[in-house]
Amino acid sequence: MTILRLGVVGCGVIGPTHLAAAAPNSRVKLVAVADLIADRAKRAAEQFGVSRWTTDAIELLQAPDIDAIILAMPTTNRTELAPAVLRAGKHLLLEKPAAMNSDELRRLAPLCGDRVVACASSRFRYSPVGQALTRILKTDPVGPLRLIQVRASGTAESQPTEPPSWRLSRSLNGGGILVNWGVYDLDFLLGSLGWSLEPAQVSAACWRVLPGFSKWVAAGSDAETHVKALIRFTSGPVLDYERAELNAGKGEAVWRIIGEKGALDIPMLGGDGCRITLSEATPTGLREQVLWTQQGPSPDIHAGPITDFVDAILDGRPPLTGLDQAITLTRITDMIYQSAEDGRCVETPLK
């Protein structure tokens, strides 16, 4: 196989982004698209030069001229389709969050066979910052790991006035800010660290939208816009994690990796002039040095998961974030939600 014949299910919010990333890829042939709304499927097909469109996703699963499927619809709608894709013998790329919970992903494992399963939560690891961080961590600049810190929040100014109904819905999306943005944070950091950390203990709290910002969320929204968690891993390090949107406080952006020798400060969102810095502990105090500076604006990160998925299939290698890694991410989010709901520490990983 030298060309991957691709089908995309879902032409709403993120589907066209996948199509735009796949269309110029010389190793991809876009064969068909599907969406429950006929006009949306037809419009996407015309826009990206795809010859077939349908309102029935099963047609793509049954098509002999399609090798791989991207599922780019709301999370709950993938519960039945994801295993069906694998049973049909096709490779699978899942939009993030990969599933409603980790049990759904574990049920995919026996169905995989030789098919590649990947998750798009890896987007930010394809950015200049993500690639530089991966290179830097291979040199072990901070020593044995102690603490990872994340504080990332925003205010209402950046929020849409008509958000989609699924975005803050437990029943449609599996959660709120934690699965919308938190999985990016977790994938970025845990993936850059080589997926060497396994969760052992989680204590967390979640809060819904502030009353003053209620106009920024869809009616009936029941998921969190603010999450705080302390995650201890089996090997000892701790992740102090906070992610918020529609927040009453000022915006923050901190991603930090702290070890016994020093600490890395990382601008996950990147941008021209952003720097990765190392603060080292010395007998005379802290010594700071710039390890990397971004030159120019960040390119579009959405092509990354598509390129990686295609290359993994055609070159016979694992994707950057495969099924096992997606299970780890989803297990952590499951533990955070369980701790927040029960008001207690979850002592052991969910099985």
Query: Does the structure show a pLDDT above 70 at 7?
Result: yes
The predicted structure's pLDDT at residue 115: 97
Query: Residue 267: what pLDDT?
Result: 96
- For 280-324, what is each residue's pLDDT tens digit? 988 898 899 999 999 999 998 999 999 999 999 999 999 999 999
- The pLDDT assigned to 285 comes to 87
Q: Mean pLDDT throughout 210-232?
A: 93
Q: 139 pLDDT band (50/70/90 cuts)?
A: very high
Token digits of residue 97 = 């969050």
Mean pLDDT score, 225-250: 94
The phi, psi pair for 316, rounded to 5°, reads 70, 45
CA atoms within 13 A on the CB side of 169: 15
* 346, pLDDT greater than 70: yes
Number of residues assigned to the chain:
351
Query: For the structural domain made of 4-123+302-321, what CATH number should be given?
Result: 3.40.50.720
User: What pLDDT, on a 0 to 100 scale, did the predictor assign at position 159?
Assistant: 61
pLDDT at 161: 66
- Which pLDDT score, from 0 to 100, does residue 101 have? 96
Distance, in Å, from the CA atom of 61 to the CA atom of 38, rounded to the nearest integer, reads 18
- Helix, strand, or coil here: 189? helix
* Superfamily (CATH) of domain 125-297+331-342: Dihydrodipicolinate Reductase; domain 2 (3.30.360.10)
CA dihedral (218, 223, 229, 234) positive or negative? negative
Q: How do the domains of the chain map onto residue ranges? A: 4-123+302-321, 125-297+331-342
Lowest mean pLDDT across 105-119, 154-168, 211-225:
154-168
> How much is the pLDDT for 350?
52
Q: Is 90 exceeded by the pLDDT of residue 157? A: no
